[in-house]
Each structure stands twice: as C-alpha cells, then as structure tokens.
Amino acid sequence: MKNPALWAVLLLLTAACQNQPTTTTESRELAEEVSTSQSTEGSYTQDDQENNIRLIQMTLRDIYKEDLEKDWIDTLSRQFKYSQVDLNQDGKKEILIGLTGPYFCGSGGCTLILTSHQGDVITQFSVVDYPVYVAKESSNGWQDLILYSGDKNRLVKFDGQSYPSNPSVLAAYSGDISLLEKLLDWESQEMFSF
C-alpha cells in the first residue's frame, strides 16, 4: 500500500483491539527517564517523586481513557496513593497504585493496580483494602503479597505472568503481618490526583 495515512489508521485500529492496557509513547519515554539510574544533571531516578506521579497519572489516564472521556469517573475517584517496591529483585521498583472513591471502591474493597517501573500493568486487583504487605517468601521469582480481601488477609502469589486479580477467593494468610513491609498505608501517605 502506498498511502501512509491508511497504514497509520490500520496501525491505530490494531493497537486499539488489544485487550491489555498499554502505555502511550509519552508515558513510556517518561518511564525510561524515571528508571534511569545515572546521576547526570537532568536525568531522573525512580526516587524522583514528581516524575513518578506524572508517570502514574499518564498510566491511569491511558487505562481509564474512555471512562474519563465519558465523565464517568468523579473527582473523588480520581485520587490515588502509591508505593514502590522491587518485587522481583531486578533492581527496578514496581509501582503499587491504590485507587479510591465510588468508581473504584465498593463494599468488598477497592481497585489496586501493580505496574512495572515503566507503567505497564502487571495486575489489576479487585476488592482489596489497604494497606498491602510484602511477604518474605517468593513465588516464581516475585515476592508474595498479603492483601486484605473478603474480611481476611490473603496470600497472593505470582504465577509466572501476574498475580491473581481477585484475592478474595485465595487462601487466608495465617502468619504475623506485624513484621512485614507495609505499603499503601492510607493513614500516613499523601494523596494525589489524575
């Protein structure tokens, strides 16, 4: 085909048909800046909160683009808290994003999203209450998570691709969480908007 505009439309349609949420080129480029560990002036690290927030905002806007355009997500629901943790010991911190408000929360809990350091969705959890705990044990090279769901702490193990998205159907965790790393502490962490 000689028409570049037609190629562009076909490429966009192909990308739109994908089932998995993706990041935009802009958020991917920002993620690469954020994940760089060089200490040169003008570069960013994963500890640069301003750029982490921008990456999360772009990721959430990408994931929920259609619902935002339809104005289905109210202002209260456009808030989040986040924590970073290296769950697979690769030196790059994954991002846990805790969502709130009536769009993302119901009687069973709220939506929690785990992304890579570049904003790619690894798992979107449903019916979760905060905080999140990181277990000392690992499954398939990723640390286990303890998520409160269905009125119990649940042991959530990585299956090689992702974590199970609905922790309420998993086995209860009977260990002591008081010594585990605590993330998304709703009482003490700052709230941001997207």
CA distances 116 to 56, 88, 104, 111, Å, are 11, 10, 21, 17
pLDDT band (50, 70, 90) for residue 6: very low
Please indicate, yes or no, if residue 1 is contained in any of the structural domains. no
Residue 101 located in a structural domain: yes
Burial class (CB in 10 A: 0-12, 13-18, 19+), 167: buried
Contact between residue 192 and residue 80 where contact means Cβ atoms under 8 Å apart: yes
Confidence of residue 49 (pLDDT cuts 50, 70, 90): confident
Amino acid identity at 95: I
Q: State which residues form the domain around 89.
A: 21-193
CB-based burial label for 139 (10 Å; 0-12, 13-18, 19+): middle
Domains in the chain: how many in total? Answer: 1
Within a domain: 178: yes
Residue 10 lies in a domain: no
The per-residue pLDDT for 48 is 84
15 located within any domain: no
Q: For residues 134 and 182, what is the distance between their CA atoms, to the nearest angstrom?
A: 7
Q: What percent of the chain has pLDDT over 70?
A: 76
Average pLDDT for residues 106-125, to the nearest whole number? Answer: 96
- Note whether 26 and 51 are within 8 A (CB): no
Within a 10 A sphere around the Cβ of 72, how many other Cβ atoms?
11
| pLDDT over 50 (residue 172) | yes
In a domain, 6, yes or no: no
* Structural domain contains residue 31: yes
Torsion of CA 158, 160, 161, 164, to 10 degrees: -30
